[in-house]
Chain A
Amino acid sequence: MEKQEGPDTAQVRLEDPWYDALASGWSDRDSTGAPAPGAPLGGEDLTAGRSAADIYLEVQRSEAFQEVRARYRRFVVPASAAFLLWYLAYVVAATTAPGLMARPVAGAVNVAMVAGLAQFLTTFLLTWAYTRHARLRRDRAALDLRWDTQEMTRGAGR
């Protein structure tokens, strides 16, 4: 599979209409659309005679990668905890506190109906927030790292 990736991915990248929208945000492009801070990955001389395993370890330790990973985790961990807790709270409330859930809000609409529709709403909102975060804060830096890493592993034996 190594032998395919060079020409294939390059070609795919040119043809992909969805690559052109990369980091097209207008608000925080300057601070985050640019590659993550940190020293550029090792140059040609560093890769000579090294195995792919060493290269991946080096990339993993690089500041640029640590930044991408931190940005991903800082969003995903709290967001996942929040929506799972909110969903569990909803299910547990629906099964154990039907009295509370039956309380009317407006007309025929009660607390349960509002909570159920709120689950739909929060799912849509979190989807939007996550993709926006990924597009603006992660995609560009991750793509740069991808090309750098592939450049380094190209010559390396496995």
Chain B
Amino acid sequence: MNGDHQALALLLFSAFIAVTLGITTWVSRNRHGSAEEFYAGGRLFSPMENGFAIAGDYMSAASFLGISGLIALYGYDGMLYSVGFLVAWLVVLLLVAELVRNCGRFTLADVVAARMKERPVRIAAGTSSVTVSVLYLVAQMVGAGSLVALLLGGTSEAARSWTVIGVGALMVIYVSMGGMRATTWIQIVKAVLLMAGAIAMTVLVLMRFHGDFDQLLDSAAARSGHGKDFLAPGLRYGGDWTARLDFISLGLALVLGTAGLPHILSRFYTVPTARAARRSVVWSIGLIGSFYLMTIVLGFGAAAVVGTDEVRASNAAGNTAVPLLALDLGGGAGSTGGAVLFAIMAAVAFATILAVVAGITLASSASVAHDLYATLRRRRAAGPAGAEDGDGRYSEVAVARIAAVGIGAVAIALGLLARDLNVAFLVGLAFAVAASANLPVLLYSLFWRNFTTRGAVWSVYGGLVPAVLLVLVSPVVSGSERSFFPGVDFHVFPLENPGLVSIPLGFLAGWIGTVVSSEPPDAAKHAETEVRALTGAGAV
């Protein structure tokens, strides 16, 4: 990696930043400052636009560089990830997307609070949504820092710190100035860039092997140093039973967590109807599915063309597999084609990070302003009801803009603190918390007649608290050389991902809370939720 790609990559980074800032300015030119506009972008995006935006929101740099890198290093075991990330969308499509679009207005808590006592439920769901978002955000920020430093060759501490600060500042500008509309367009641009980049690389890899997938697999297996084992599961997760259970836990978190991610749920409110929400998910499943199919080709391609040992030598986690593959496919190190393709892939990765962090920041600022702030303020104001209209709404958007700045500051600070730590587990943890705290309460509210306020609150905290506690006493925090605190050892829970235990606990806590509830379930509210969810009556 020499000066040529770096200059070109920096140029492309700047071009992307200029385009996205242009979008933000253009969008905020005649904004009304209403909540509909800020949180939901006016709700008039088409299913195709929203489908691209969902894909842009969901496919992080961890998917693009991380999964193909894992495949390049461990062969088949990397593929297991992509399957979980895709199958998760069936949960979203069948059980969540349309019903959430019909019942809610801006956030996950809207859906639950419609049936329950608003205050405790909003505080619980808001807290867990912010927790999930911050975990995911920190993972992306730290990833961005090391990734950009890696791609630009400068591994100095200062370069990484400035990248984290720069990414944080940009996402705050996008969100606080442009709201959902700017975020959506940035995600659409990113999704188009990412798909185009992946398609181009896939075509180049397949051309190299004359379109013969079998030959590609054979060469990958031969150059990996593992032979046929490279094409079968077991290289990464096939160790002892702890490692196997850990992967099952992660698989469960991936498949159930997507439907509880706040920044994914909030995307369904940007289309006018449940039918449009369904069609957005169909678009995004098509895009995400074909993207992960391409990462399989890219991963095995990197193993076959670049070689597993070379990938590992460049970055132990495999994150540089795709850029290295680009360099080779473009004509090798030192050639113009190689430099151009490398710089393009680096720019695509950078665009990916910016679009994802903007989506998460927006969703968490919505949770802070719409759920937490609005609820806490309402108690101080005169009555429990009636604080929703008129001037109240404008100030809520102002709070959301400030919250975006605050969340940006927190994310930058945590990103800088965690800069040198291994944060790869944070993505898996964010999915596990979403699956344990958000999904049970969402499904119970939509489908269970007897669900009560206590059940809702218990199910959120009953998933959130165990998930976080189990991680604190797991090997990712202490007790191994890869942990947060390698020096000490207070780990008692053997798995890195808490999903296997905390997801059932979230469902169980919701059930127990409902059964021991003193208040009877509200039949009329349940009827309203069910009728609205399935017909769209009264949907905004």
Contacts and interface: CB of A to CB of B under 8 A. Distances in A.
Interface of A: 1-2, 4-5, 8-9, 12, 16-19, 22, 52-54, 56-57, 59-60, 65, 68-69, 72, 76, 79-80, 83-84, 87-88, 90-92, 94-96, 98, 101-102, 106-110, 112-113, 116, 119-120, 123-124, 126-127, 130-131, 134, 139, 142-143, 145-146, 149-150, 153
Nearest to B246: A95
Interface centre among A57, A94, A112, A130 (most CB of B within 10 A): A94
Given A101-B233, A108-B217, A116-B83, A131 B278 contact: yes
B289 A16 contact: no
Contacts of A69: 530, 534
Nearest to B523: A57
Interface residues of B, number: 66
B116 to A, nearest CB: 15
Nearest to B228: A102
B90 A2 contact: no
A114 to B, nearest CB: 11
B47 A18 contact: yes
Nearest to A57: B527
Contacts of A80: 90-91, 94-95
Interface string B61-97: 0000000000000001101100110110111011100
A92 B46 CA distance: 39
B8 to A, nearest CB: 35
Contact of B528 (A52, A92, A102, A106): A52
A120 B90 contact: no
9 contacts: A56-B524, A80-B91, A94-B80, A95-B237, A102-B228, A108-B214, A124-B289, A126-B94, A127-B89
Given A120-B86, A131-B279, A142-B535, A96 B244 contact: yes
B528 A53 contact: yes
A-B residue pairs, 7 tightest by C-beta = A102-B232, A149-B537, A53-B524, A108-B217, A98-B234, A60-B527, A94-B233
Contact of A109 (B80, B214, B247): B214
A146 B536 contact: yes
A126 B534 contact: no
B255 A84 contact: yes
B285 interface: yes
Contacts of A143: 535-536
B221 interface: yes
B231 A113 contact: yes
A87 B255 contact: yes
Nearest to A86: B87
Nearest to B237: A95
Contacts of B80: 91, 94, 116
Contacts of A56: 524, 527-528, 531-532
